[in-house]
Amino acid sequence: MATFLVRRILGAIPIIFGVALVVFILFNVVGGDPALMMVGKHATAQQIADIRHEYGLDQPLIIQFFHYLKDIATFDFGRSYATRQKISDMIANGIGPSLSLTLPAFTLTTLVSVALGLLVSYFRGKVIDRVSVILCVIGMSIPSLGYILFGQYYLAYELRWFPISGYDYSFPGRFEYLFLPMILWLMLSIGYDVRFYRTAMLEETTQDYVRTARAKGLSEPKVFFKHVLKNSMVPIVTNVVLEIPLLILGSFLFETFFGIPGLGSITIDALHNSDFPVIKTMAFVTSLLLIFGNIVTDVVYALVDPRVKLK
């Protein structure tokens, strides 16, 4: 496994270089002149020239790209155009609120979805299965904004069960503001996840080993919990790991509407202000997480499925 990890990490280096190149071209070439966006269209030529010199935008693109690679290697992403803060400090300050929302919400959603997926696949074709599929489709059809407006108006404003928005940096106090977003996260995600896990588990029930287990006289609960669930872990792990970037970036809508000062909120503010360094950093960080998420997925495959060999 150590050899596999080293080989995959080394193989990820050219991919990371390619991602950095694409992100740089999108924001420094295709996106227009960042200096002009910073000072506005009514700025004088001297003001634009001063900004370009201050941020090194007057240098050749190849030199700017090498500076960008150096910043990536040292995790020094420069400063925000809008706030003049160091982007690395902004990420450090935003990652805590983002994880305090996304980590428990994501964990709860995964556990509940897997349990419900196993339950409805166990009762395949019966009333509970059909009702669950209908509810999942309805839940998937409602836009995320609909859940947020329902939660804020009815649960928070009308019933006053939760604060409408805000955030408390103290450890126990923050959960008062996070309960409602976590509940809405679960409601928003559970429809798709339950259908996905139900399909993965039903696919396993058609395999030969399931028929063999039933022929040996094993009870249905034992077949599902001991065999089907275990062999369904590959698609389950794939779905879970591919959602890992959400744990860092958080949910843009949830953080924005509920006033949570996380990375998603920082990114939305950067989009509103055309803050290219912040947007560029978030785009690269997301890509980086997806690359290493795929490596983690391959390793977990080998841990949950003995048929998968790391070569």
Q: Specify the pLDDT at position 39.
A: 66
Does some domain include residue 161? yes
Q: Are 264 and 254 in contact (CB under 8 A)?
A: yes
Does some domain include residue 275? no
Does some domain include residue 225? yes
| Whole-number Å distance between alpha carbons of 284 and 267 | 12
Question: Tens digits of per-residue pLDDT, 50-95?
Answer: 777 777 777 777 888 888 888 888 877 777 877 778 888 888 888 8
Examine the pLDDT at 306 and tell me if it is beyond 70.
no
Dig out the tokens for 72 from the structure.
Answer: 């990536």
Examine the pLDDT at 178 and tell me if it is beyond 70.
yes
Amino acid identity, position 287: S
Question: Tens digits of per-residue pLDDT, 219-239?
Answer: 777 777 777 777 777 778 777
Q: Specify the pLDDT at position 2.
A: 73
| Whole-number Å distance between alpha carbons of 200 and 288 | 28
Amino acid identity, position 75: F
Does some domain include residue 165? yes
Does some domain include residue 39? no
In three-state secondary structure terms, 48 is helix
Dig out the tokens for 8 from the structure.
Answer: 């995959």
User: Which one has a higher pLDDT value, 106 or 231?
Assistant: 106
| Whole-number Å distance between alpha carbons of 304 and 308 | 9
Does some domain include residue 139? yes
Q: Specify the pLDDT at position 37.
A: 64
Instruction: Please report, for the domain that includes residue 256, its CATH number.
Output: 1.10.3720.10
Amino acid identity, position 10: L
Does some domain include residue 49? no
Q: How many domains, in total, are found in the chain?
A: 1
Q: Which domain holds residue 226?
A: 95-261
| Whole-number Å distance between alpha carbons of 225 and 205 | 12
A 10 A CB-CB count for 58 gives 15
| Whole-number Å distance between alpha carbons of 143 and 191 | 12
Across-strand partners of 79?
Answer: 86
Dig out the tokens for 29 from the structure.
Answer: 């070439």
Q: Are 254 and 181 in contact (CB under 8 A)?
A: yes
**CA distances to 36, 271, 304 from 96, in Å:** 34, 21, 30
Question: Tens digits of per-residue pLDDT, 259-292?
Answer: 888 887 888 888 777 777 888 888 788 777 777 7
**pTM attached to this predicted model:** 0.74
Dig out the tokens for 309 from the structure.
Answer: 């060999």
Does some domain include residue 43? no
Residue 86 DSSP class: B
A 10 A CB-CB count for 302 gives 14
Q: Side-chain half-sphere of 218: how many Cα atoms within 13 Å? A: 16
